[in-house]
Amino acid sequence: MSTLEALLKAAHQAQKRAYVPYSDYPVGAALETDDGHIFTGCNVENAAYPQSMCAERVAVFKAVSEGHRAIRRLVVVTEDGGTPCGGCRSVLAEFGDPETEVITVDRHGHQRRYTLGQLLPKAFEFQHRPRAGKSE
């Protein structure tokens, strides 16, 4: 199984675990670190809606909590192939670079490919800090 196939499978599995009683919009994410590790996340909603967390950030935070700080690629699975929100794009920029690949997948399996630089051009993180560096 290729890394992309593993990421797609992991993102779909994560989407099934999403807790979305308010939006009914499950999202699954799987990211690959620069050294090939895969971390997943799903969105987790809360009645106090601002306290909810996006799937992409869950995956990033899991990776960072395990000592990995450089993202190579991210797959996001949603009903309609939606891209990461602005907050997630900023978090991804902290640990990725303009060429970090972001792949969105809809319910029919259609994929769209972006770079993080396309999704968040002129990101503060890209211009004003050194690269997060290799995973520890």
Question: Catalytic residues, which ones?
Answer: 56
The values of phi and psi at residue 74, to 5°, are -135, 135
Q: Which of 112, 117, 32 is nearest to 68 (CA)?
A: 32
Three-state DSSP class for 15? helix
Q: Which of 84, 66, 67 is nearest to 75 (CA)?
A: 84
